[in-house]
Amino acid sequence: MKRLLPAFVVATALVGTPALAQDGPLNRVGRALDNAGRNVRNRVETEVARGQAYAEERDLLYRVTRRLDWDKPLVGSTIRIEIRPDSSVVLRGSVLTEDGKKRAVDLVANTVGVGTVVDELAVVKGVKVIESTPAVVVPPPGDVKVVTPKTRTTVVTPPVEVKVEEKP
């Protein structure tokens, strides 16, 4: 029994030494570098995926815009286009006729890459010009002189941005 005790102590010391060496400073530095490398890789992969999604959205926006720009019945319409990540397209703005509205929605729906179309277009029949006169202003006492210029106010019904231009 006396011979087994020193052998047991020596064996325990030899087996325990590699376990302690695994948690040494070099191994901790190695693990930290591995974690940093994984974090960099994950970030790069995320940014690449985000860039690809952005490029696909820009490509779809280009195709939809070209189809609407060169369509003759839509001349005089103001249409804002929003592309969503799920390939849906939102149309906002104004068109001159109900047929123009249907035409815009059909053109976008039949464009390659478009999933769904959300129609938020308004039909604008015309523009009214309303003359306005400024209210009578009572001048304050003293040397102050109030000048009120005549103004002309243009009201668009419903209030939307209207752009009129003809394509060549």
Model confidence pLDDT, tens digit, residues 2-34: 666 666 666 666 555 555 556 788 888 889 889
Local confidence band at 158 (pLDDT 50, 70, 90 cut-offs): very low
**Residues 113, 60 contacting (CB under 8 angstroms):** yes
Torsion, Cα 131 134 136 142, to 10 degrees, reads -150
Helix (H, G, I), strand (E, B) or coil at 32: helix
DSSP character for 119?
A: E
The CA-CA-CA angle for residues 160, 162, 167, to 5°, reads 150
* Helix-helix angle 98-109:25-69, to 10 degrees: 140
pLDDT in tens, 116-139: 999 999 888 765 656 777 777 665
Average pLDDT of 91-105? 90
**Residues 77, 97 contacting (CB under 8 angstroms):** no
